[in-house]
Amino acid sequence: MPEVKILEEVCKGCGLCCDDVCPVDILILSPDTINSSGYHPTVVTDMKKCIGCGYCYMICPEPAIEVYK
Amino acid sequence: MKKIFGRPAGLTEIIQRYCPGCGHGIVHRLIAELLVELDIRERTVGIAPVGCSVFADEYFNCDMIQPPHGRGPAVATGIKRSRPDCVLFSYQGDGDLAAIGTAETVHAAARNEKITVIFINNAIYGMTGGQLAPTTLPGMRSTTSVKGRDVVKQGYPIKVCELLSGVDGAYYLERCAVNTPKNIIKTKKALKTAFKNQMDDKGFSLVEILSMCPTGWGVTPVQSKQWIDDVMSKYYPLGVYRDRAKEEK
């Protein structure tokens, strides 16, 4: 099962990965968590759906996303 | 569980101080991945520009130099000629390459120096606060063209790939973008070709990359991504402008 790990402290909450990049649409900007830089980091809504394509990692400018398989 | 995607060894652990949604981070990562893939990290010298990416020397895990504004290709020429075993890349923005450093870029291309130039085109001066750049599109608003770029007063933008395709010395010219995963894969391929041309001692390679600047453009990161597709890539068409390796075949 592929798994996406978001490094919350590195994420700047730009939302590039949340738009239409994820083919299974499981990434959203967290409405209630906030990191020490003051950004709302990306969170995964349903890890079971992840296909491990790595598109989120590709578009992430930081990179704050790691993909495991 | 095996990590299949993650921070490449070509980048340091420092968190980059770019704005959210900035394209610089994506290009940094692509270069860092190639340094590892081509196994050239130990002999690469990078040239950091003046601009938003002035601290690139802290982010890349290879030797870096920060020359005066716009003089990247000139410094790269010097290093490459004295140390031909080194791999040189000059990372430059539009203020650095298309404004103050135009002469260095054109002449480095004309001399066919064996260097790789990476040109980040975000159509605006990001670091100084979103002023009009030589690459600002006609009608586009910036803090020094509040009613939109007026071509009568401020002239026309410089299209760097088209300009250099008139220079016979240039070996490889391509324009890409980093707004979608598809374009990012293409950009990585172009960067790989540019590095390989240098490693095979072929000649001057320049990759122009259309990049997002949500802060300078005054839009959200997601809108900026869309704007490259809808507007910017219409004015700056993506594609290969010169590939002498193919022409010679």
Which pLDDT value is given to residue A25? 93
- Residue B145 contacts residue B155 (beta carbons within 8 Å): no
How far apart are alpha carbons B205 and B113 in whole angstroms? 9
ipTM: 0.95
Q: Are strands B116-121 and B63-65 parallel, antiparallel or unpaired?
A: unpaired
Q: Which domains does chain A have, with CATH numbers?
A: 1-69 (3.30.70.20)
pLDDT tens profile B65-110: 999 999 999 999 999 999 999 999 999 999 999 999 999 999 999 9
Per the structure, the count of domains in chain B is 1
Average pLDDT over residues A35-53: 94
Are A68 and B181 within 8 A, CB to CB?
no
Average pLDDT over residues B21-43: 96
The CATH number of the domain holding residue B72 is 3.40.50.970
Determine if the pTM surpasses 0.90: yes
Are B26 and A67 within 8 A, CB to CB?
no
The owner of tokens 């000649």 is: B203
Closest to B3 (Cβ–Cβ): which among A18, A21, A68?
A68
Are A67 and B220 within 8 A, CB to CB?
no
Which helix H or strand E contains B75, and what residues bound it?
helix B72-82
User: Residue A49 — very low, low, confident or very high, per pLDDT cuts 50/70/90?
Assistant: very high
Query: Is a pLDDT exceeding 90 seen at residue A66?
Result: yes
Q: Are strands B205-210 and A42-44 parallel, antiparallel or unpaired?
A: unpaired
Half-sphere exposure of A14 (CA within 13 A, CB side): 32
Half-sphere exposure of B51 (CA within 13 A, CB side): 32
pLDDT tens profile B102-135: 999 999 999 999 999 999 999 999 999 999 999 9
The owner of tokens 């300078």 is: B216
pLDDT tens profile B195-209: 999 999 999 999 999
- Residue B161 contacts residue B175 (beta carbons within 8 Å): yes
| Alpha helix stretches (DSSP H) within B165-243 | 181-199, 214-217, 221-227, 233-235
Contacts of B3 in chain A (CB under 8 A): 66-68
- What percent of chain A has a predicted confidence (pLDDT) above 90? 94
Tokens representing B209 are 């990359």
Residue B204 within any structural domain of the chain:
yes
Are A69 and B15 within 8 A, CB to CB?
no
First to last CA, chain A: 6
Residue B165 within any structural domain of the chain:
yes
- Residue B141 contacts residue B147 (beta carbons within 8 Å): yes
Residue B240 within any structural domain of the chain:
yes
Nearest CA in chain B to A2: B1
Are A59 and B6 within 8 A, CB to CB?
no
Domain that holds residue B58: 24-248
- Residue B72 contacts residue B92 (beta carbons within 8 Å): yes
Which residues have C-beta within 8 Å of that of residue A46, sequence separation ≥ 6?
Answer: A26
Query: Is a pLDDT exceeding 90 seen at residue B155?
Result: yes
CB of B95 within 8 Å of a chain A CB? The answer is: no
Residue B5 within any structural domain of the chain:
no
Contacts of A68 in chain B (CB under 8 A): 1-4
Residue B1 within any structural domain of the chain:
no
- What percent of chain B has a predicted confidence (pLDDT) above 70? 100
Are B6 and A57 within 8 A, CB to CB?
yes
Are B3 and A15 within 8 A, CB to CB?
no
Are B185 and A63 within 8 A, CB to CB?
no
HEC secondary structure over B192-207: HHHHHHHHCCCCCEEE
Measure Cα distances from B104 to B51, B92, B206 in Å: 17, 12, 13
Closest to A19 (Cβ–Cβ): which among B26, B185, B222?
B222
Query: Is a pLDDT exceeding 90 seen at residue A20?
Result: no
Which residues have C-beta within 8 Å of that of residue A40, sequence separation ≥ 6?
Answer: A13, A29, A30, A31, A33, A34
Three-state secondary-structure class, residue B119: strand
Residue B126 within any structural domain of the chain:
yes
Q: How many residues does chain B have?
A: 249
Three-state secondary-structure class, residue B234: helix
How far apart are alpha carbons B88 and B194 in whole angstroms? 11
CB of B5 within 8 Å of a chain A CB? The answer is: yes
CA distance A2 to chain B (A): 8
Contacts of B223 in chain A (CB under 8 A): none
How far apart are alpha carbons B232 and A66 in whole angstroms? 30
CB atoms near residue B200 (< 10 Å): 10
Closest to A10 (Cβ–Cβ): which among B1, B15, B26?
B15
